[in-house]
Amino acid sequence: MKINVIGAGAWGTAVANLLCENGNEVTLYSHENDAIESINKFHENKIYLESYNLCENLVAKNINEYNSECDLLINAVPTQYIRHYYVKHNIKCNSNLLNISKGIENSTNFLIHELFELILNLPQNNYAVLSGPSHAEETVNHLPTTVVIASKNQELKLQLQDLFNNSYSGLSFNVSVELFCLIDIDFLYSINSSGVNCIDVSFLIEFNITFSSSIFSISFDSLLFILSIFIYRSFLVDASTLN
C-alpha cells in the first residue's frame, strides 16, 4: 500500500517506520530539512528520535513536494497546527485519512474530525483515528504495544487493523477494533427550547468487551479519554445562553 504520513515528529516517524517495516511504500513528509536529511541519509530522525534505527526503505520528503496520490493519508501534525499546516501547504486528500494526533483545537474547540471536514471536505466514512498508551521509542524498538483504531467505517477499521498488525519476533502492535465510535467524534450538539447546550450521546459508544487483558485495558483507557472530552465540551456554554 502507498502511504503518506504528514508530520515527522517522534510519533509520526515511529508509525511511518512500522508501516514501512510491514512492507508498505511509505513517504514521510516534513517541513524540517534537518529531519528529512537525517532520515534519508542515516536512517535516523536525529531531531526527534535520535539513536533509533529506521527502516532503510522509509523515504522522507519536504512538505512542499507533497503528492496526494496515495492509498492512505496519515496525519501526525499536532492538533494546534493542523489547520495552518494543511491550508498553507495546500494539502489535498484523495484517500482515507487516519489521524494519530490527539486533542481539541484550542481557538475553536473543534474536534479533529471537524477540522478535516472543514479544510479537506473529508466525509466521516473516510476518517479513522488511532490512539492508545503507546510511545514512539518503544514502537521503534519493537516493544509490545496495543492501540485502538476507531471509525464509523467497519471495512476501513478492519483494513487498518491488517495494515498495522505484524508478527515479527518481539513486536506486538495489536490493534483492537472493539471500539465502535470514533474517539474524538460522535458528539452531537443540539440546542433545546430553553437555549441550553445539551449533548446527544444516544449512539456515542458501543463496546464489545473482550476479556483479554490488553484489549480490555486499552478500551477502558479510551473510555476515560472519551468521557474527559464529553465532560469538557459539556461545559462549553455560549455566552448568550447565560443571559
So what's the pLDDT on residue 230?
Answer: 56
CATH architecture of the domain with residue range 2-179: 3-Layer(aba) Sandwich (3.40)
Q: What pTM was computed for the model?
A: 0.73
Encode pLDDT of 55-99 as tens digits: 999 999 999 999 999 999 999 999 999 999 999 999 999 999 999
Query: In this structure, what DSSP letter does residue 4 have?
Result: E
Residue 10 near residue 136 (C-beta atoms within 8 A): yes
Integer Cα distance of 183 and 226 in angstroms: 6
How many helices (H) and strands (E) the chain has is answered by 7, 12
β-partners of residue 19 are none
Integer Cα distance of 178 and 219 in angstroms: 8
So what's the pLDDT on residue 225?
Answer: 56
So what's the pLDDT on residue 32?
Answer: 96
H helix intervals, 22-168: 33-42, 82-88, 112-120, 136-140, 154-164
Integer Cα distance of 224 and 210 in angstroms: 17
Residue 166 near residue 22 (C-beta atoms within 8 A): yes
So what's the pLDDT on residue 80?
Answer: 92
User: Helix or strand or coil: residue 109?
Assistant: coil
Other CB atoms within a 10 A radius of the CB of residue 2 amount to 13
Integer Cα distance of 122 and 116 in angstroms: 6
Integer Cα distance of 30 and 50 in angstroms: 16
Instruction: Spell out, as residue ranges, where the chain has pLDDT lower than 70.
Output: 167-243
